[in-house]
Structure 1
Amino acid sequence: MELVRGADGLARCGWAAGSPVLLAYHDTEWGRPVHGEAAHLERITLEAFQSGLSWLTILNKRPAFRAAFAGFDADVVAAYDDADVARLMGDAGIVRNRRKIEAAITNAAACVALRADGGLERLLRQHAPVGPVEPQAATTSPESVALSKALKRHGFVFVGPTTMYALMEAIGLFDPHLPGCHRRGA
C-alpha cells in the first residue's frame, strides 16, 4: 500500500484516492473506535455485505442499509421474518443477496443473545491486538482468526478471518493508517 497526496496537500492511504466518499470515510471514520451495539452491528453487517464487492459500493448504499435494517437495532432486525427477507430482496437501495440478508438477521439475533456475556462491543475489544500493529498488506492476523472463531461460537455467520481483519481496521482495534498518513496516530 502506498500513500497519495490529496488536492489539500495531505498524505493519505492510497485506497482513499479517487472518490470523495472514500476520502471522507478515510479521514473521518476508518480506524477510529466506534461505540455502542448498533454501531458495531452495523460494521459487521456492512463488512459481510462488502464481501466480493467494492467498499465504495457499500458506502454509497449505507443510508439505504441503515433504513433497511432499522438503524441496526439488533432487537428489531433479529425479529425479521420471511416477509422482511422478501421486502429486502426487493430493495434496490441495498445489495440484494439472500444469504447476506439472512446473515444480517442471524447476526442480529446472535448479538441479542451475546448481551448475556457482556455484549458485542466487549467481545470485539477482547480481540484487539496487544501492542502496536504496523500497517501492511495483511488480510488476516492471529487476532482476526481468533475473533472469527469466537463470533462463530456465538452464532454469528459471514464473519471469516479476512472480513474480521477489515472490521478490526475499520473500528480502530488497531491503527490501520500507513506511516506518513495524516490520520496515523490521530
Structure 2
Amino acid sequence: MSDPSEDLVVGEDGLARPVWASRHEDLREYYDTEWGMPRRTEAEVFERLALEGFQSGLSWATILRRRPGFRRAFADFDPEAVAGFGEADVERLLADEGIIRHRGKIEATIANARATLALREAEGIGARGDLPRGSTLADLVWSYRPETGPAPRTAAEVPTTSAESRALAKELKARGFRFVGPTTMFALMEALGVVDTHLLGSHRRGSSGLWDETGTPRA
C-alpha cells in the first residue's frame, strides 16, 4: 500500500494537492478553481464531454492548454451551432493547429452535438428512466450521481470506472453518442462534480459542497 504522503504535494501556499495538479501552474489553477466543481448547464456538460473525448489517449494538460483553441473552433461548444457543422467544417477543423486534429474525434463531437439536441425531445431518459421531455444532457448525466462516493487516501485508491459510469456510457451510446466509454464517463463525472475523488487530505476534498469527507452526499 502506498503512503498517502507520496500522493499529495504541499505547495508554497501551504495547500495539499495531488501530484498531477502540482506539476504546472495551469494545472494547479484548474485543480483549485474548476475540477470537481458542479457544472450543470447543457453547454458546460457538452463542452466537457467533447474535451474528454479529445483527451482519449492524451494527457489532460495537452487538452487544457488547447482549450481556448477548442472553444474558438467549436463555437464555444454551443450544441446547436456544432450540430450544424458539415463536411466543410470538418476539413476546416482538420487544418486548425489550435486543436487536436483527429478526424474521428472531430466527427464524434459533431455527432454528439446532434445527439445532445435529440435528448431534448426524448422521454424516459436518465438513470431511473423518469426524466421528462425537455430534459438536457446535463440532466441525464447528473441523474447518475451515486448514492455514496469514494474516499481515496492514495492515487491507487481512486477508481477509474463505477457502476454509474458504466450505465451512463451504455445509455449515451444507445442514444447516438460516441467516445463515451465507462472510463471516459467516470472522468467526466469527476470533472463535473458528480462524484468527488479528491484525495483525503487535499485542500479541495469536499469543496464542491455536494459531498462530505467520507463520500456521503450532502443535500
Give the alignment's Cα RMSD to 1 decimal: 1.0
Gaps of 5+ in 1: none
Cα shift at 1:138: 1.7
Q: Match for 2:111 among 97, 106, 112?
A: 106
Specify the structure having the higher radius of gyration (Cα).
2
Cα shift at 1:35: 2.2
- Partner residue of 2:149? 132
- Between the two structures, name the one with larger relative contact order (CA 8 Å, sep ≥ 6): 1
Q: Is the 8 A contact 2:42 2:138 kept in 1?
A: yes
Residue 151 (1) aligns with residue 168 (2): no
Query: TM-score, normalization: structure 2?
Result: 0.83
Cα shift at 1:36: 1.0
Q: Match for 1:88 among 93, 117, 140?
A: 93
- Partner residue of 1:165? 186
The letter of the residue matching 1:158 is F
Secondary structure in 2 matching 1:116: coil
Cα shift at 1:154: 1.1
Aligned length: 186
Q: Is the 8 A contact 2:158 2:197 kept in 1?
A: no
CA distance in 2, matches of 1:74, 1:139: 27
Secondary structure in 1 matching 2:121: helix
- Partner residue of 2:162? 141
Query: TM-score, normalization: structure 1?
Result: 0.97
Cα shift at 1:139: 1.2
1:1-150 equivalent positions in 2, closer than 5 A: 2-117=7-122, 118-135=135-152, 136-150=157-171
Q: Which has the higher helix share?
A: 1
1:115-151: CA deviation from partner (whole Å, max 9, x where unpaired): 1231101100111111232233321111110010011
Which segments of structure 1 move beyond 4 Å, counting only runs of 4 or more? none
Between the aligned residues of both structures, percent identity stands at 55
